[in-house]
Amino acid sequence: MSEISSAAFKDSKPHYIILNGLRGVAAIVVLVYHAFEAFATSQLDQVVNHGYLAVDFFFILSGFVIGYAYDDRWDKMSVKDFLKRRVIRLHPMVILGAVIGAIMFYFQDYAPWNVSAVPVISLLLATLLSAFLIPMTPGTEIRGIGEMFPLNGPSWSLFFEYIGNILYAVLIRRLTTNALAVLVFLAALGLAGFAVFGPLGSIGVGWTLMDSGFFGGLLRLLFSFSAGLLLSRIFKPTYIKGAFWICTLVIIALLSLPRIGGDKLWINGVYESICVIIVFPVLVFVGASGRTTGKGTARLCKFLGDISYPLYMVHYPFLYLYYAWVKNGNLSFQQSLPGAIAFVAGSILLAWLSLKLYDEPVRKFLTKRLLRIDK
């Protein structure tokens, strides 16, 4: 989840403010999707069902942003410089998410997790590994459900984001546009094949090393990140009126749609393939082509963009708490609605506080200390 900016350079380029806003919209839908997980027995019966596709949208945005911000800058920086910039941009919130997850861990007791039985030394080890984005393996992770990052689940996508950044720096950026198009095409075939013919009829994988989790997560990254990068190279903007509101409605609809096809898993796989391979790149094109004409829309886009990454990285420890509260009390959605509203609103407030009191100051400090900005 990368900010639409090249602020690391003195001659910064214009921001795509609508894309920033859309990233925030998708992050909020992720919160709602996660809240509904507490009332589902599986993906098949979850009401707000496709929120996990937001990760693929984030990956496409990331590829587009990085291509836009850095493709023509390699005469001014090394691979090391680029990776420093990405660590400064991404890692402070990774660490904060791990710390919040550790603080909240023992408050999330739920019988299948049995967190009260976890020794403090194991929690400290998990915190250290999570802070450095080192995945925990099934059978050793402390929550017992196979997560790579059991203190803060969404860190799995940052693990793949880093893989994408490294691949870009050492290899993908060197590809010609035609070669990159071939890579995108092959990755699209692989992703669609996994979605349609795979065991789940879904690409909602990557958060665990079990079964095909790592392979599926890598496919998601390879297509979406490379597709975003390709789009940044061939993008020719046009003016599209109302782009933010059009794209917002489409994103909410696509990510909220219940599971389709029932036990015919391939039908859902086709739907997700169309969303990720066709619709999401179109949304990025439309968002990048739009212009905000009203001050209210511009302020909303800026706010949503500013909180989107912190929101994604700080909400999940409180989701574990909400989930345990619902399950332990055997609550209906109506009974838990005040808690759900508090979870969403509180996560947004915490994201804003994290941004202003922690993320921005830490990134500013690290930028001054670690980067050499040409005057």
- Cα 183 vs. chain centroid, distance in angstroms? 22
Residue pLDDT tens, the chain, 375 long: 655 443 334 445 778 999 999 999 999 999 999 999 999 988 888 989 999 999 999 999 999 999 999 999 999 899 999 999 999 999 999 999 999 999 999 999 999 999 999 999 999 999 999 999 999 998 889 999 999 999 999 999 999 999 999 999 999 999 999 999 999 999 999 999 999 999 999 999 999 999 889 999 999 999 999 999 999 999 998 888 899 999 999 999 999 999 999 889 999 999 999 999 999 999 999 999 998 778 899 999 999 999 999 999 999 999 999 999 999 999 999 999 999 999 999 999 999 999 999 999 999 999 999 986 543
- 330 found inside a domain: yes
Q: How far is CA 317 from CA 34, 194, 223, 327, 362, in A?
A: 11, 30, 29, 16, 22
- The answer to the question of residue 372 being in a domain is no
Eight-class DSSP state of 359: I
Cα separation, 33 vs 312, in Å, equals: 12
What phi, psi does 81 have (nearest 5°)? Answer: -60, -45
CA dihedral (47, 210, 199, 266) positive or negative: positive
Does the residue 347 lie in any domain? yes
In a domain, 299, yes or no: yes
Q: Provide the H-helix boundaries in the chain.
A: 17-37, 54-70, 79-104, 120-131, 155-170, 177-197, 213-234, 243-256, 265-274, 280-289, 295-314, 316-329, 333-354, 360-370
Examine residue 121 and state whether it is found in any structural domain, yes or no: yes
Q: Are 126 and 141 in contact (CB under 8 A)?
A: yes
Question: Distance between CA atoms of 78 and 7, rounded to whole angstroms?
Answer: 17
Query: What does the DSSP assignment read for 58-90?
Result: HHHHHHHHHHHHHTT-TTT--HHHHHHHHHHHH
The total number of structural domains in the chain stands at: 1
- 334 part of a folded domain: yes
Give a yes or no: residue 371 inside a domain: no
**What are all long-range contacts of 207-213, with beta carbons under 8 Å and residues at least 24 apart?**
207/147, 207/148, 207/149, 207/153, 207/156, 208/138, 208/146, 208/147, 208/148, 208/156, 209/135, 209/137, 209/138, 209/146, 209/148, 210/138, 210/146, 213/146
Query: What domain range is 184 assigned to?
Result: 17-366
Residue 207 maps to a domain:
yes
